[in-house]
Amino acid sequence: NVSVVLFTADLRLHDHPPLRAALDGSRLVVPLFVRDPAVDRAGFAVPNRLAFLADCLRDLDAGLRERGGRLVVRSGDVVQQVVKVAAEADADEVHLAADVSAHAHRREERLRRELEGQGLRLHVHDTVTTAVPPGALTPAGSDHFAVFTPYFRHWSRQRPRDAVDAPRAVRVPDGVGSERLPSRTGIADLSPGLATGGETEGRRRLTAWLRSGVAAYEEGHDDLAGDATSRLSPHLHFGTLSPVELVHRARRAGGPGAEAFVRQLAWRDFNRQLLAARPAVASVDYRARHDRWRSAPEEAEAWREGRTGYPVVDAAMRQLRHEGWMHNRGRLLTASFLTKTLYVDWRVGARHFLDLLVDGDVANNQLNWQWVAGTGTDTRPNRVLNPVTQAKRYDPDGAYVRRWVPELADVTGPAVHEPWRLAGPERAALGYPEPIVELAEGRERFLRARKP
Ligand code: FAD
């Protein structure tokens, strides 16, 4: 018998239960990836992620070829393509990783209907894209956790299943045609500092991180210039690394750094269990605060372009554009600046992040935006981050600002975070914008709007 394995956000060979199950049950396997135009239509096929995806598919194909197989790539409606490939290969079953978005739910339902109508079996595997599956942990009286701390208490007591080895050999039936693999060359508008994709690169980074990064994570993770986080987020997004394997390997590494890192992996599962239970929160407020957001297109544009006049905000926004990635502390303070200080709808900011982030992810992006905007699960929804205080705390000597804002590269001392304190002529010579808003005014406006 023959199985089809549909790869989606799990572009790897190590710790891949659907592939393992398919190989255990079948002599021949078709590893399939479908480029679905529905993903483009929903606005998710942006240059940075398409380039990273192309790297992932090439690496997956290379890994399969080393094992005697190959990757089959098709374009079109994912369900129709799976049915077509299954017919061409004379397959009797299809394996797929469970996922959490509304798109993934619909895909699974449609696949089940279509395949079962034709006498094929669909197997959905639930610990491929999360360490702990959505819905596995629930508080009394609800289908999901709305507060992280109790979720994390339960999550920490779980021991995820054992990781599965990569297969030694994969045999693909003859006669199943594939399109050419996509390539990152030729994709326009890429961030110049974009990371490389693929499982090989992901595993290399993971090993280096566990050897020489994670131990200092607890003290270093908030230091903007130190850049002491794992940068594994795009690999988790595309599934070139397995969250189950990460939890096991980090726990084995041990120590406070590894513990703090595992806690962040739990945040990822937390957001996923929330989106799985409430798919609409990708665009609808999780907790309605009856906001009447300001329409401020010029201010929003200054924010996007990194010329708000607040150095740490501008540094982070320029890092995003240059690398297709932003430090978590930067994400927090730029999102707070947009949604609270400027009081602009979180959806405006989330869209811009999704346009550029290589790790741009419906669950993590939308729910972190909601968290910062106070429409999500933050138990202190009205806190406003002050970008100057944040800068002094998390970029104490200004190295991050100087790295990303060349206008301020030669400013010494604390003025790098408050260039408006410089004398008039000195300030004018910088060519750096004046603040687009008074912080105290923005804060008052926001707090007034949120008054019950
Ligand atoms: P590390 O600090 O090394 O953490 C390890 C992993 O844990 C990350 O790769 C990520 O998978 C997970 N993680 C870390 N922080 C969080 C968090 N707050 N919530 C959920 N998971 C977390 N993360 C995304 O993966 N995609 C997004 O689109 C995204 N958008 C965000 C938008 C905003 C406004 C904010 C505040 C945060 C967002 N995050 C997003 C979460 C976080 O900023 C990134 O996961 C992190 O910065 C990635 O860098 P890293 O891999 O070095 O993280």
pLDDT, one tens digit per residue, over 28-66 is 999 999 999 999 888 899 999 999 999 999 999 999 999
CATH architecture label of 130-160+200-277: Alpha Horseshoe (1.25)
Helix or strand or coil: residue 216? helix
Residue 106 labelled as part of a binding site: no
CATH number of 2-128: 3.40.50.620
Numbered ranges of CATH 1.10.579.10 in the chain: 297-450
**Please, where in the chain does CATH 3.40.50.620 lie?**
2-128
CATH number of 297-450: 1.10.579.10
Give the residue whose CA is nearest to atom 43 of ligand 1. 328
Name the CA radius of gyration of the chain, rounded. Answer: 23
Q: Where in the chain is the domain with CATH 1.25.40.80?
A: 130-160+200-277
Q: Crossing angle, helix 255-277 and helix 148-156, to 10 degrees?
A: 120
Going by pLDDT thresholds of 50, 70 and 90, the confidence category of residue 177 is very high
Closest protein CA for atom 32 of ligand 1: 365
Full-model pTM = 0.98
Q: Is 141 annotated to bind ligand?
A: no
CA distance 445 to 441: 6
Ligand 1: nearest atom to the Cα of 334: 34
pLDDT (mean) for 273-301: 97
Q: Is 361 annotated as a binding residue?
A: yes
Provide the token pair at 377: 């699960």
Q: Closest Cα partner for 92 from 124, 123, 125, 119?
A: 119
* 251 CB near ligand 1 (under 6 Å): no
Q: Are 300 and 348 in contact (CB under 8 A)?
A: yes
Kindly report the average pLDDT of the chain as a whole number: 97
Neighbour-count burial of 270, counting CB atoms closer than 10 A to its CB (0-12 exposed, 13-18 middle, 19+ buried): buried
Cβ(329) to ligand 1 under 6 A?
no
Task: Assign 26 a pLDDT band (cuts: 50, 70, 90).
Answer: confident
CB 8 near ligand 1, within 6 Å: no
Quick: pLDDT tens for 64-122.
Answer: 999 999 999 999 999 999 999 999 999 999 999 999 999 999 999 999 999 999 999 99
404 C-alpha vs ligand 1 centroid, how far in Å? 20
- Two structure tokens written together for 427: 């300030």
pLDDT, one tens digit per residue, over 219-253 is 999 999 999 999 999 999 999 999 999 999 999 99
For ligand 1, pick from 368, 369, 370 the residue to mutate: most ligand atoms within 8 Å of CB: 368
Find out whether 229 is annotated in a ligand binding site: yes
**230 annotated to a ligand binding site:** yes
Atom of ligand 1 nearest to the CA of 349: 34
Query: How many whole angstroms separate alpha carbon 415 and alpha carbon 438?
Result: 17
- DSSP H or E stretch at residue 95: strand 93-97
Helix, coil or strand: residue 122 = strand
pLDDT digits (tens, 9 = 90+) for 385-434: 999 999 999 999 999 999 999 999 999 999 999 999 999 999 999 999 99
